[in-house]
């Protein structure tokens, strides 16, 4: 089955991004495809390469990058939400790309299931 995931909250502040990651990992382990993860609202902060958590904490941003690289997941950050919050190409973490809201709608159209994580 083809899954789309939406993440609406930033890392560390809210569990949404953690839950979405655990869900994505479990879906892949079960042989499903995670086609795209769309980051919206404060969720765009998940794409900041300036993120530096303490060493004993999980690195939410790098974790997404790694999962995406290993499983060919399209990590898309909403451009309007990103610019509002200071996320640009120059501070975008590896594996993420900035694009329009059409990419979210396309996830709804093309995926068998769209699962949203937010507040």
Partner 1 sequence: MSDAKKFMFVNRKAPYGTIYALESLEVVLITAAFDQDVSLAFLDDGVYQLKKGQQTKGIEIKNFSPAYRALEDYDVEKLYVEKEAMDARGLTEDDFLVPVTVLSRAEMGKLMEEQDVVLSF
Partner 2 sequence: MLNIINKSPMTSVTLDTCLNTAAGGDILLIEDAVYAATKGNAAEARLRQAMDQFKIYVLMPDLEARGLGDRLIDGISPVDYGGFVDLTSNNKTCQSWL
Q: Which residues bind partner 1 (CB under 8 A)?
A: 6, 8, 40-41, 80-81, 100-102, 104-106, 108-109, 114, 116, 118
In our burial notation (b when 16+ CB lie closer than 10 A, e otherwise), range 8-34 reads bbbbeebebbbbbbeebeebbeeeebb
Which is catalytic among the residues 67, 76, 78, 104? Answer: 78
Instruction: Return d(Cα 47, Cα 81) in angstroms, integer.
Output: 12
Q: Pick one of 13, 15, 71, 91: the residue that binds partner 2 (CB under 8 A).
A: 15
Nearest to 53 by CA among 103, 104, 10: 10
Task: Using the minimum distance from each CB to partner 2, give the nearer residue, 39 or 92.
Answer: 39
Residues with active-site annotation: 78
Q: Which residues contact partner 2 (rule: CB under 8 A)? A: 1, 3, 8, 15-16, 19, 22-23, 25-27, 29-30, 32, 112-119
């Amino acid at each position: 089955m083809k899954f789309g995931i939406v993440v609406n909250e930033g890392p560390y502040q809210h569990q949404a991004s953690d839950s979405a990651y655990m869900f994505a990992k479990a879906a892949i382990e079960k042989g499903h495809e995670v086609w795209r993860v769309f980051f919206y609202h404060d969720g765009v902060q998940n794409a900041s390469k300036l993120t530096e958590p303490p060493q004993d904490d999980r690195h939410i941003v790098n974790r997404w990058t790694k999962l995406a690289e290993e499983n060919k997941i399209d990590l898309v950050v909403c451009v309007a939400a990103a610019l509002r919050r200071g996320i640009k190409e120059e501070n975008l973490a590896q594996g993420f790309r900035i694009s329009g809201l059409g990419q979210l709608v396309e996830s709804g159209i093309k995926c068998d299931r769209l699962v949203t994580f937010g507040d």
